[in-house]
Structures are given as C-alpha cells and as structure tokens.
Amino acid sequence: MSKNQPKLVCRNVWKLFGSGAVEFFAGGRTSATPEEIAAVKLIAAVRAVDLAVNEGEIFVIMGLSGSGKSTLVRCLSRLVEPTAGEILFNGENLLAADEKRMIEIRRHQMGMVFQNFALLPHLSVLANVAFPLEVQGLERPAREARAKKMIELVGLAGKESFFPRELSGGQQQRVGIARSLAVEPELWFLDEPFSALDPLIRREMQDEFMRLQAVLKKTIVFITHDFDEAIRLADRIAIMKDGAIVQAGTPEDLVLNPATPYVAEFTRAVPKAKVVKVGSIMKPAPAGLNGAAVPVRATVAEAAPRFSAGAELLRVEDGEGRTAGALHRADVVELMMRG
C-alpha cells in the first residue's frame, strides 16, 4: 500500500441510539433528516460520515463535547457497533467481519489509547506494557523484550519495575502509549489522550508524540476538543458538529477557508501564523543561498524568531535537507499583521 492510499475509509457511517435503530435503516435507506430521526425517538450520535485516512498521516477529529467524535472513533474499531454504512480497513469491510475476526484485527493491527490511562494497578510497568502481547500468546522472553523496547522508546527506561501508583500522570500516559505500541499496530487510535494532564505536561507529551511519529510513521486517528493541539499535531483535521463532519482539510484550509459559519467561529481566534506553513509562502531561492535553514513544514510562527538578528531571508529545506526555497522577512511580517 502506498503512503497516499487510504488505510481507513468510512462511507456514509451512522450511529443511532434507541429502540429500533437497526430497523430504521432497513430496506435500503441510506439517509435521514433530523426530523425523521426525532419522530421515531432515536438519537443520532454519528450522521452520514465520509472520510479517508491515508497511510502514515495524523488525522485529527475534533469538536465540542457531544459532537460525536468519541462515538465515531469507537465505531471505527467497532467497539461501538455502527448502525449503517461501510468502514474499510486495508480494503476489508469491518462491518462484514465476525467477532472472531474483529478481535484478531484489534489484537494485531490496531492500537488504542484513551483519556483514562487504564493501567492495571497490580502490574509493573513492564507487565502492563507486555500485557497485550501476553493476550496474543507471545512467549514471555519475546514479549518482555518487545515491551522493554517500547518502554525505552517512550523515555521510561529504568522504570520497568515501578507500579502505576509510583508514576506521575505524564509517566502513566507514556506507559499507556508504550502498551498500545507493543502490538506494533498499523492503525493507532488516540481519544483525547492528553486532556487529563496539566498544561506543561500536556505540551511535553505532544512533543513526545511528534517524536514518536517521526520514528514510527504510524497511521493515526487522534481525537481532541483543543484546536491548538489539533493544528500542532495534524496533517488533516475533520471538525464535527451534531454527529456530522462539517469540514475536513489541512489546518491551513480550515483557518484560511472555513466552509461554514460554525468552522469560521471555531477557528476565529487562531493566529494565521500558527497554522500557515513556511512552504506555503516561500519563494524560489536565489542562487548560492546558504546558512541555517528552517524546515518546509515549520509554521510561520515557529520560523519568525529567526529573523530577529536582522536577516531578510532564510533558506528553507525539505525533509531530505535540500534547499526548497527562501522565506522572506516581508512576507512573514505581512502574514502576522493580518492576524
């Protein structure tokens, strides 16, 4: 599968709660109005969701409390059973999979991290991280070796024998992340994993998350209600309201070109410099431009302090370290003055 080919696809996914929800969509029905749903005393938690998550990207689903984002992510793994629609994972329709097949997929191909750390208090860090491998039936030496590798990856080497009560909140969340990564998932679900943490620890965990993703390059569905967190982490964002996705796109798309008044209000207070990437406003580099460079994926806000020494332009480099263009002071100032 190529990097740009969807790993996960949703087609017209619905989740209705209430008696008769499945029957409501029987007989070939594919849509419903809010009035039709209310008339039969059902509640639509997820409405007509279409989305595609590409190989190796961080796809953030966000919205206010009650928007349906957590229900949707549970539908994607069938922890909550969708009422109608299609969910394709590597081309396989998960809604046609039996319970045994879904258990196999969750154990071997999906990782999940939730807001509550859900660590087993009577197990050590090592045993907590190795637990899903034990469920898989992996022999103890092999599972502990992989667990130690994951513990080191999240920066907790030396704490293998500690118990959850002996760790800080941020350390506990790192254990939860290590545990979900131990199965080496193809698809990684994170449902507001940092929202219970203090602001400083939350920022540290976001940094850690981005470091891990740079190493692992997982396909990630990340749930949050915090737009600052979303624009910092996401390749693309989908904004939900009343169970439906009202707009999906890059952080720049959403801030610069909101599709609805709701999205405009949602993104109104976000400074453009925090979301516009250097690559969007750079110009061709003049011959012989050398010196320190800013990454093409950095935001303008991250690059702006580099002009404090009086430089008029900076070299921009791509992910391979090659010169991709030049960032001009005047363009940065203009963008920041526009808010």
Number of other residues whose CB lies within 10 A of the CB of residue 187: 22
Collect contacts of 197-203 with beta carbons under 8 A, ≥24 apart.
Answer: 197/169, 197/170, 197/173, 198/169, 201/168, 201/169, 201/170, 202/229
Answering whether pTM is above 0.75, one says yes
Q: Which domains does the chain have, with CATH numbers?
A: 6-109+185-270 (3.40.50.300), 274-337 (3.90.1280.20)
Which residues have C-beta within 8 Å of that of residue 104, sequence separation ≥ 6?
Answer: none
Per-residue pLDDT of the chain (339 residues; tens, 9 = 90+): 444 579 999 999 999 999 999 899 887 788 899 999 999 999 999 999 999 999 999 999 999 889 999 999 999 999 999 999 999 999 999 999 999 999 999 988 998 888 777 889 999 999 999 999 998 888 999 999 999 999 998 889 999 999 999 998 889 988 999 998 888 899 999 998 888 778 888 888 888 888 888 888 899 999 998 888 898 899 999 999 999 999 999 998 998 899 999 999 888 888 888 888 898 899 999 888 888 788 888 889 889 998 877 888 899 998 778 899 999 999 998 888 876
Written as six digits, the tokens of 37 are: 């749903």
Identity of the amino acid at 100: K
Written as six digits, the tokens of 283 are: 């110009």
Query: What is d(CA 206, CA 195) in angstroms, rounded to the nearest whole number?
Result: 11
| SS3 at position 203 | helix
